[in-house]
Structures are given as C-alpha cells and as structure tokens.
Amino acid sequence: MRALEERRSRWPRRIAWLVLFAVLASGAYLVGGFARFASDVAALSAPPTAAHADGIVVLTGGEQRLRKAIGLLREGEGRRLLISGVNRDTSAGAIARATGTEMALIDCCVDLDYEAMDTIGNAEATARWAKEHGFARLLLVTSDYHIPRSLLEMSGVSDPPAIVPYPVSPEKLWRRDGWPTRLGLRLLVTEYAKVLVVKARLATGVDLSTLSGSTHHRVAERSD
C-alpha cells in the first residue's frame, strides 16, 4: 500500500519536471531563433547594381524607403515602380513633394496601391501588379527587419514573381558598431514574433494574422 502511494506521489513531480523542461526547451528555441533572425537581418545588404529587375516594389512606411525606390527607378534598375500600401489620403503629388520627385516621373512610371492594409495585402498586390505588367523579377524595397516577413508572405501567394530583396536600414534602429539600438531591439523582437505567426499560418493554413499585430505601413510614418 505504501509503495503504491509513493508511486502516486511521484507523478506530480514528474509532470512538474516535464513541464519545466518543456518551458526551458521552448525558451531556448525562441531565444536561439531570435538570435538567428537578428543576425540574418544585420547581415542583409543591398544587391549589386547588376541585380536589374523588370520592376520595383516598395512597401511604404517612411521617406527613406520611398527615396531609395525612386532612386533605383531613376537608375534604370526597373521599368516601373509600385508603391504598395499608400494611405488613401496621400496623393501622387504629396509623394512627389515628400521625395523631391518630378511629377513627370510619377505620372510615367509609378503606380500607387491604396488597397493593401498589411504585409499580406502588400504581397497580394505585388503579385497582381507583376502579372498585369508581365514582370517576372522584382526588386523589393523595404526596411531590413521587414525583409524576412515580406519574403514569407510573397511565398504564400499564388504564382509569385522572383523577388530580389533590397533592404533599407533605418538609421535610428542600428548603432555604428552594428548592434541594434534599444528601439531597434524592441522592433526586432516584435518583428520576430510576427515572423513566427506567419510561419505558423503558412504551415497550418490557419489565419493567425489578428495575433501578429501587423500594422498598416503608411507614407505618413517616419520611424522606419
């Protein structure tokens, strides 16, 4: 009888140890995964000039991205530029003034997407735009920390074009020694959580976008 009671008393302890082990293992996995994510983001660099593409797409969120994308268009790195996720209150003229771009170039070669509300929408709009223009290869301009999630979302749309990432590194997010600032670290942690949600959604087919905290990238934002 006593032996039976002793065996029964061990089960709660065993379960507690198993739970503790699972928590520690999950924590180690998340920490290791974040370290790899942050390292991959820090190692991102702009492709060489030879990476000419059919078109260019920029995911809005700040003038730095827009200026870089328009500069690539001027340099002939793509025939047209799609600005995806533009605020409905932002006109083509406002973009021209904000980036110091002549309206002739905007009217000629720049398309504005007002429909995309998040990165999923950006990916869908990009795929439609590429198909409409017969573009098979695109330069994707967005902030460096946003590149991994953008590529994941692009892989989830039907018949996606080939994507060449063109990262833009926000100055306030990185120190000169290559380490993230406090703001940059917080943003990287948030973005890593979003990447995990996207991976889970793509793997299971379950829409977890409401848990990802995805935000609408807008021209009016200046932080990234």
List CB contacts of 63: < 8 A, sequence separation 6 or more: 98, 99, 219, 222
Check: CB of residue 202 under 8 Å from CB of residue 152.
Answer: yes
Q: For each of the domains in the chain, give its residue range(s) and CATH number, in order of start.
A: 55-212 (3.40.50)
Closest by alpha carbon to 60, among 115, 133, 137? 115
- Please give the chain's pLDDT, 224 residues, in tens: 555 455 555 556 666 656 665 566 556 556 677 888 888 888 888 887 656 799 999 998 778 899 999 999 999 999 999 999 999 999 999 999 999 999 999 999 999 999 999 999 999 999 999 999 999 999 999 999 999 999 999 999 988 999 999 999 887 788 877 788 888 889 899 999 999 999 999 888 765 444 444 433 433 333 44
CA distance 99 to 97: 6
CA distance 198 to 204: 10
Q: Is 49 helix (H, G, I), strand (E, B) or coil?
A: coil
Order of strands, sheet of 80-84, starting from the edge strand that comes earlier in the sequence: 110-113, 80-84, 55-59, 137-143, 162-168
What pLDDT is stored for residue 49 in this prediction? Answer: 63
The pTM score is 0.77
CA distance 139 to 167: 10
What pLDDT is stored for residue 212 in this prediction? Answer: 41
Q: Is 126 helix (H, G, I), strand (E, B) or coil?
A: helix
Question: Running DSSP on this structure, what letter comes out for residue 61?
Answer: S
What pLDDT is stored for residue 79 in this prediction? Answer: 94
